[in-house]
Structure formats: C-alpha cells, structure tokens
Amino acid sequence: MTGAVRTLLVGAAGSSPYLAELMAREGEWLGPALDDPEGALDAALRDLPDGPPDRLGPALRQAKRRVALLAGIMDLAGAWSLQMVTGALSRLADLAVDRSIRALVAEAIAKGRLPGLGPEDAGTAGGMVALAMGKMGAGELNYSSDIDLICLFDETRVSREDFPAVRAGFVKVTRAMTAMLQDRTDGYVFRVDLRLRPDAAVTPVCMAMAGAEAYYESLGRTWERAAYIKARPCGGDIAAGEGFLDTLRPFVWRRHLDFAAIQDAHDMRLRIRDHKGLGGAAEPRWARPEARPWRHPGDRVLRPDAPAHRRGDATPRCGCAARWRGWIGSSPPAGSRPMPPPRSPPITAACARSSTGSR
C-alpha cells in the first residue's frame, strides 16, 4: 500500500465515523481489494452463499459493508466515477433483493405455505417478482438511499382455490424480505419502501399482477405513470416482471394525451419546484424549458414517441439519448457516438494527483 493510499484511508477514517467502523471490521479485506477494486466488487457479489435465510442475512450485511467501503474509498480517491459508485451500490441492491426473495420463497414452499407450488417452482420464485423503482430502477442508488420496490406475483400459476393462501404466503415472504434487508443487527443492508404499489394504504404489500394491472387501467394517476419510467424487475421471476411491464406500456407511454393528463404532468412539476424552493435563474434545471423533457419525469410522460432507449434508463444516458434525437440542446457533432461506459484509473494514480489523497 502506497503512502498516498494510506493517507487517504487515514483521512477518510478521521472524517467519517461510518467509514472508520467499516475499516475496523473489513480492514483485512480492504487492502487486497484496493489492488483490483473491480475484481473485488465482483467477488463480493459473486461469493454470496446460497442457502436458508438465516445464513443469507449475515452474508448480505457483510457484502453491504464491503461494497459501501470500497465504493466510498474509490469515490474519495477520484478513481471511480459517479456512475461506477452508484452502479456498484445498485448491483448490490439487485442481488440482495433477488437472493432474499428466492431463499424465502423456497423456504415457504418447503413448509407448505404456498399451496399449489412445488420445489421445481423455487427457481422462478413461484412467480413472485420485485420491481425496482426510482433511483434503484435507474441504477443510481447513493450511499444513504432506500430502495423503492413494488412486489407482485403471477396469479395464473395457482388455482382459484389456492389463491387466498398463496397471496397470504407471498405477503409473508415480502415482509420477511423487508425485515432481512432493513432490520438492524450487525448492520443492515438497505431500507425498503413498499409504498409505491397501487393504493398502498389499503392493498397488501404483495399484489396479484392482474389486480395491479386493473388498478392502473382504471385508476392510475399521472405520478404513477412517471414512477414507472425507470421501473424494471430486479428480483424473483424476472420474466414475469418483464411481461407485466409490457402490459403496462400503453399506460406509461400513452399514444394520445388529453388536456387533463397534460395539466397533471405540469402540476406535478410545479409541486416539486414549490416544495423544493426551486425555480428562477439560479436553478437552471427547472428554469430552462429545453432541459425539462429529459430531467423531469412529469414532462417525459408527455412524449408518446419516446423510444425504448429513453425508457427506464439512467438519467445521464437518458439525457444523452434525448440530445441525440435533437429534443434538447444542439445536434450531436458529426461522427460522434453516444456516451461510453466509464472506466476507472488505478487508485494509486488517482491518489497521486492530490497531495492529500482526496478530492
């Protein structure tokens, strides 16, 4: 370990009690990890054990400590871009949700809590899927982000007679998954927010897909359309989740708009602006009309011609695609290409750029 890297670690530990605690617990792992941070990240996610929930919980919390520590140090060193930092945290969240759902569904099937489903259904989580929304859906989680999920199950895989018991079983799985991820023991993984589901005040935390689809078709509001811009399946039965999102495409990306939908989108933008105290020349993100169509979801849902590469993507790439189509700014230079994936320099080189080893 070079002097610059050591200085960085000392400064980070002295300035952040959270990083200091992580270094105290994962210091032996961190040293070799800094020699190959991308490889260490892949290994931390790949080496999670398969098994019952009581083994998975501690492993997920250890993975969170390691990924958060590695991302924090690489971020402070300037060796990882913003997209790489948020991408690492989002990959961990995806894996944590998927592993916990599969382990808990397999346990529920083994205990007979999901009638009509057998051991062969455990591989697809019995038709249960978690949809990642918001920052998680876009792969833009930060260090303190909670994860917004909508949990659904495919009711066509069970009989009508078994449906009430299966629904109750998936509700228990969802609550157990939430507890596994956010309850504090030797740390926690992520806080979980399930309130984006349809009519969250009166509906169960895991809904049948048919019921959710019927709600959006008859009662779905503009803010719910905007919420689905970045939605994607992140855990459980991914194929079922993609099929559900396909059925919602006409709801999210309406071919024709009425005056009420346009006014709702406009009012949503104004409410956010007023709540945050934004607007005026000092806040160009909201003041400039040419920036709104890709920065704000309320305006993006007004584009019925929005192509697939602009749906559910991360904000920087979404803006790049919008500029590429000439919706904002000037036309792209001749011979230019869309934004490439970021690459990171070695941490020693990043630290050497600063005498303090930090930005």
pLDDT tens, residue by residue, 185-209? 889 999 999 999 999 999 999 999 9
Residue 358, pLDDT score: 43
User: Does some domain include residue 297?
Assistant: no
| Whether residue 38 has pLDDT greater than 90 | yes
Least confident of 196-210, 231-245, 264-278, 279-293: 279-293
Residue 50, pLDDT score: 81
Q: What is the mean pLDDT of residues 30-48?
A: 95
Establish how many alpha carbons lie within 13 A of residue 223's alpha carbon, considering only the half-sphere containing its beta carbon.
10
CATH number at residue 144: 3.30.460.10
Q: Which helix (H) or strand (E) holds 310?
A: none
Distance CA 206, CA 209 (A): 9
User: Does some domain include residue 280?
Assistant: no
Q: What is the domain range of residue 92?
A: 3-253+344-352
Structural tokens at position 59: 């492993």
Distance CA 210, CA 208 (A): 5
347 close to 1: Cβ distance less than 8 angstroms: no
Which conformational region is residue 314 in: left (phi greater than 0), alpha (psi within -120 to 50 degrees), or beta?
Answer: beta
| Whether residue 77 has pLDDT greater than 90 | yes
User: Does some domain include residue 167?
Assistant: yes
Average pLDDT along the chain: 84
226 pLDDT tier (thresholds 50, 70, 90)? confident
Q: What is the mean pLDDT of residues 208-221?
A: 95
| Whether residue 184 has pLDDT greater than 80 | yes
Least confident of 86-95, 111-120, 266-275, 298-307: 298-307
| Whether residue 161 has pLDDT greater than 80 | yes
Residue 307, pLDDT score: 52
Write out the E strands in 134-202: 147-153, 192-193
Q: How far is CA 98 from CA 161, 162, 197, in A?
A: 28, 25, 18
Residue 136, pLDDT score: 97
Alpha helical stretches, state H, 78-149: 82-110, 134-137
Residues in a beta bridge with 153: 128, 208
User: Does some domain include residue 67?
Assistant: yes
Q: What is the mean pLDDT of residues 278-291?
A: 50
Least confident of 3-7, 35-39, 64-68, 111-115: 3-7
Contacts of 151 by beta carbon, 8 Å cutoff, 6+ apart: 128, 129, 130, 131, 170, 174, 177, 194, 197, 205, 206, 207
| Whether residue 340 has pLDDT greater than 50 | yes
User: Does some domain include residue 304?
Assistant: no
Specify the DSSP class assigned to residue 332: P
Specify the DSSP class assigned to residue 144: T
Give the model confidence (pLDDT) of 165-176 as tens digits: 999 999 999 999
Q: What percent of the chain has pLDDT over 70?
A: 72
User: Does some domain include residue 316?
Assistant: no
Distance CA 293, CA 229 (A): 13
Q: b/e for 205-231, b at 16 or more Cβ within 10 A?
A: bbbbbeebbebbeeebebbbbbbbbbb
State the total domains in the chain: 1
User: Does some domain include residue 337?
Assistant: no
Residue 193, pLDDT score: 97
Residues in a beta bridge with 192: 147
Instruction: Give the strand pairing for 206-208 and 232-236.
Output: unpaired
More confident: 276 or 271: 271
| Whether residue 291 has pLDDT greater than 50 | no
290 close to 329: Cβ distance less than 8 angstroms: yes
292 pLDDT tier (thresholds 50, 70, 90)? very low
Residue 174, pLDDT score: 98
Q: What is the mean pLDDT of residues 121-145?
A: 96
Residue 290, pLDDT score: 45
Q: What is the mean pLDDT of residues 231-257?
A: 92
151 pLDDT tier (thresholds 50, 70, 90)? very high
Distance CA 155, CA 285 (A): 43
64 close to 21: Cβ distance less than 8 angstroms: no
User: Does some domain include residue 85?
Assistant: yes
